[in-house]
Structures are given as C-alpha cells and as structure tokens.
C-alpha cells in the first residue's frame, strides 16, 4: 500500500477543507475558525474568527485571489487573500463582503470563473440557493425549493445551476431564463424535465464535467452517480460502504499513468501555531521556503501585490462609477439639506414679520 506522504495533526476536528488552485495555500475550518497554511513550509499564516458557529464549507476563486466561507450561523463571508496575508497577527482582517440573506445554516458554496469578477452560489437548509456577484457583493438570484438544499454547483458556461436536495433530488436551474427575476420559485411539478431522480437520500456533493455534458453526484445513500445532463439519465452508479461526503471531477494529472511519478518535494508538517510565534530552533524547519506577501524577504512588489493591482485595475471602472454615484448622491443630499435650512429660516422670518404686524398696537 502507498504510505501517507504526511500526517497532519490539526488543532481540532476539521469540518471543511480546501486548497487554492495555485497550490500555495490550504484552508481548513476547525469549529468556528478558519486556518490558513502555506503549503511549501507548513507555516500557519492566519486564524480567522468572524463566524459565530461551526464552519460548513470553504472555496477559493479560480485565480486564488479570494476565498469564501460558509457556516451554521447562516453567514457567507468573502475574504481577500491579499488582505488576510498582509494583516498583523494580532489583528483579524475584515471580510470583503458579509452575505446574511440566508435564514438557516449554509451547506455548500461554489465559485464560477473570473477571479474577483466571478459569481458565487450558496446553498442553505432554508430551501434556497442564491447567486451572488463577488465584486459588488450584490444578490443576483434567489431560488426557493420545497426541500433543504445540501449541495450546489455551476457548469463551466454558467448557464445552469445544479442544486442537490435533502430528499435525493437534483434540480437544474436555468440562469438565462426569461423573464429575469431576482426571486424565483422552483416548482417541481411544472419543471419535471429539470430534475434528476435516483438518489434515495440527501445529495451531499455535485460536480460538472468540463464540457458540460456530465454531472457527478454523491449521496448519503452510499452511491455516486454519473448523469447525462441533456437526458437526465443515470449512466453509471458506483456503490460505497458508507455515506458519500465528497466527490468531484478533475482533469487527470500528466503523471497519473506514470508508475514512477512521485512528488519531488515532501509535504512539510503543518504548524499548529501562528507563523512567528514558534521557536526558531524547532526541528524540521529546514527545507525550501517560499514566502509571499508579508513574508517576502526581497524588496519590491510581491506576486500578490502585483496580482492585487491588476485585479483592482480590472474592476476599478465599475467601482469608481459606484463611488462616483454615491458621492454625487451625497452632494445632492447636502444641497437639499441646505435648501431646507434656508426655507426654514425664511419661514421663521415670515412668521416673525406677520406676528409683529398683527400684534402691533393701533395708533
């Protein structure tokens, strides 16, 4: 049997785990906290405590610039990785957005493509799935179902959103349906052709193939099913010996079929204390270290700083327009307040003048 590359001891039971697409960072949800590790050296870079109950899901944007967290406190938070890395260890950085439109625990998150301009989907036990815009934080779509939603995913073109229910049903929501409505109700009896039926227990995970033709689903009924999206037919069923908690489709690594393919550098142990607080003479600290952001040793801009500058340029026009509109509105409010103040003064002068005329004794 293949041995584990490294056994990592975490500070507590891990409820959710994800790695950044660029392979540099690992996020873990432990109780109410988010732990951020750097993969190359195992340093614990940040512990984020902004949720009030246990974490349920974590995911990165496709460019690794942002990550999202969802918890049982009904909140979904959007974090800027650059800001998290630049924050002082004694400070807890603020999330970029706080989404609080769900009324029950959040069960799953999914990010589309586009980095900070991407759209994100959230699923909740409140029987809704919602679609958000990461750049502005606005709610784009809310779909109400007749069962709690346990899993959500988007296809590559973001034409459809797939939602897995507690009763084993999988619902296909058309994102380009007309007329456009922010609040929609998915009526199963009317949209029977958009429901995948086969699982006998709650659906825990969903994944769409790159070409958008296949859907993979896992369930507590101890099966993983592969579906043809066009016909809604189940193509293959894979049985397991227990409830399936996660399953996803990935592109095969180049060295997967090579029997001699092994990692060139072993994975270091992940530290249990924030970087900079542990002893420098701790055993096992030798090895290759890649430091980004705050921990960069050489002068000049780090990769994350350059990436942040590039992304800010990408959507600065829109944000400037929003800020410009807000400033214009503030100016208008100030002008109106000044006009009201002048009118009140004129009204008072008229009242005083009238009072003097009326009460003036007759000669």
Tell me the pLDDT tens digit for each residue of 320-358.
555 566 777 788 888 888 888 888 888 888 888 888 787
309 shares its domain with 238? no
| CATH value at residue 121 | 2.130.10.10
- Residues 164, 310, single domain; the answer is no
Tens of pLDDT, residues 204-221? 999 999 999 999 999 999
Please check whether residue 296 lies inside any domain of the structure: no
Give Dmax (Cα) for the chain: 118
Verify that 100 and 184 share a domain, yes or no.
yes
Please tell me the predicted confidence (pLDDT) of residue 228.
Answer: 96
Phi, psi (5° rounding) for residue 329?
-65, -40
- Do 232 and 326 fall into the same domain? no
- The domain boundary, picked from 197, 228, 254, lies at 254
Q: Is residue 224 domain-shared with residue 336, that is, in the same domain? A: no
Do 312 and 250 belong to one domain? no
- Say which range, 6-10, 182-186, 313-317, has the weakest mean pLDDT: 313-317
Number of structural domains in the chain? 2
First vs last Cα of the chain: how many Å apart? 118
Structural domain includes residue 288: no
In a domain, 140, yes or no: yes
- Sole residue written with tokens 């589309």: 112
Task: Assess whether 89 and 238 both reside in one domain.
Answer: yes
Does 307 lie in the same domain as 250?
A: no
In a domain, residue 259? The reply is: no
Task: Answer yes or no: is 103 within a domain.
Answer: yes
d(C-alpha 108, C-alpha 59), whole Å: 9
- The reply to whether 345 and 200 lie within a common domain is no
- What's the rounded Cα separation, in Å, for the pair 33 and 46? 10
Say how far apart CA 172 and CA 261 lie, in whole Å: 39
* Same domain, yes or no: 179 and 320: no
Residue 292 maps to a domain: no
Portion of the chain with pLDDT greater than 90, in percent: 57
**Of 236, 254, 272, the domain-final residue:** 254
SS3 state at 350: helix
- Show the tokens assigned to 225: 């099913």
Q: What is the pLDDT of residue 223?
A: 96
Domain boundary among 254, 275, 293: 254
Task: Between 199 and 286, name the one with better pLDDT.
Answer: 199
Q: Tokens representing 239? A: 């049985």
**Higher pLDDT pick, 301 / 172:** 172
Tell me what pLDDT residue 290 has: 44
Contact between 91 and 60 under an 8 Å Cβ cutoff? The reply is: no
Q: Are the beta carbons of 116 and 61 closer than 8 angstroms?
A: yes
Burial 347-358, CB ≥16 within 10 A → b, else e? eeeeeeeeeeee
> How high does pLDDT run on average in the chain?
84
On the 0-12 / 13-18 / 19+ scale of CB atoms within 10 A, 3 is: exposed
For the chain, how are helix, strand and coil distributed in percent, rounded to 5?
20, 30, 50
Judging by DSSP bridges, how do beta strands 139-144 and 183-185 pair with one another?
parallel
339 in a domain, yes or no?
Answer: yes
79: which strand partners? 67
One domain for residues 249 and 308: no
Is residue 201 in some structural domain? yes
Domain range holding 323?
302-354
Same domain, 312 and 243: no
């Amino acid at each position: 049997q293949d041995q584990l590359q490294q056994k990592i001891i975490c500070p507590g039971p891990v409820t959710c785990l994800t790695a950044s697409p660029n392979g540099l960072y690992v996020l873990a949800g432990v109780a109410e906290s988010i732990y951020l590790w750097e993969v190359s050296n195992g340093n614990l870079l940040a512990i984020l405590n902004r949720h009030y109950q246990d974490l349920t899901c974590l995911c990165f944007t496709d460019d690794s610039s942002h990550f999202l967290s969802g918890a049982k406190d009904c909140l979904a938070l959007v974090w800027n990785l650059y800001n998290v890395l630049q924050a002082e260890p004694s400070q807890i950085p603020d999330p970029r957005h706080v989404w609080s439109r769900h009324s029950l625990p959040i069960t799953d998150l999914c990010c589309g493509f586009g980095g900070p301009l991407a759209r994100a989907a959230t699923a909740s036990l409140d029987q809704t799935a919602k679609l958000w815009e990461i750049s502005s934080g606005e709610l784009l779509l809310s779909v109400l179902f007749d069962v709690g939603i346990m899993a959500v995913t988007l296809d590559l073109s973001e034409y459809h959103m797939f939602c897995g229910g507690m009763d084993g049903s999988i619902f296909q929501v058309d994102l380009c349906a007309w007329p456009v409505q922010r609040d929609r109700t998915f009526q199963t009896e009317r949209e029977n052709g958009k429901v995948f039926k086969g699982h006998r227990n709650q659906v825990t995970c969903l994944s769409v193939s790159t070409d958008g033709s296949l859907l993979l689903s896992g369930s507590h009924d101890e099966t993983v099913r592969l579906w043809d999206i066009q016909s809604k037919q189940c193509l293959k069923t894979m049985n397991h010996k227990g409830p399936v908690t996660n399953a996803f489709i990935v592109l095969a690594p180049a060295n997967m079929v090579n029997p001699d393919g092994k990692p060139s550098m072993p994975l270091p142990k992940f530290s249990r204390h924030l970087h900079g607080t542990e002893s420098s003479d701790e055993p096992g600290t030798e090895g290759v270290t890649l430091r980004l952001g705050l921990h960069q040793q050489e002068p000049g801009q780090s990769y994350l700083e350059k990436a942040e500058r590039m992304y800010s340029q990408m959507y600065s026009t829109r944000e400037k327009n929003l800020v410009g509109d807000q400033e214009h509105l503030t100016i208008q409010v100030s002008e109106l307040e000044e006009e009201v103040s002048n009118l009140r003064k004129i009204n008072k002068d008229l009242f005083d003048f009238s009072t003097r005329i009326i009460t003036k004794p007759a000669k």
